[in-house]
Amino acid sequence: MSTNLTVPTPTPPPVPRPTHLRLVPPPRPRRRWLGDDDGMSTVEYAIGTVAAAAFAALLYAVINGDTVLTALTDLVQRALTATF
């Protein structure tokens, strides 16, 4: 009596593909529920311009203030009178 036993060979696990080596980014899902956003960049540019102007006005007020002028004058005076 001869029994022929065969042992099944295990299949190797699948090799994961590295995602950081992709040449093409994965597709982005479509956002149909948001609707049309024509003119959205114009509004963003307008808000950015207003914010930049406000920041420039704030910097102008701070730099032209007496505190900053006094601090810069003192700094220059100390630098010019320093002994080496």
* pTM exceeds 0.85, yes or no: no
Give the separation between CA 9 and CA 15, rounded to whole angstroms.
18
Tens of each residue's pLDDT in the chain, 84 residues: 566 777 778 888 887 766 666 666 667 776 666 666 666 678 888 999 999 999 999 999 888 888 888 988 999 999 999 877
Show me where the domains of the chain are located: 41-80
Give the separation between CA 43 and CA 46, rounded to whole angstroms.
5
Residue 22 confidence (pLDDT): 61
Residue 77 confidence (pLDDT): 93
* CB distance 79 to 73 below 8 Å: no
Helix (H) or strand (E) holding 12: none
Residue 15 confidence (pLDDT): 78
Residue 37 confidence (pLDDT): 61
DSSP code for 21: T
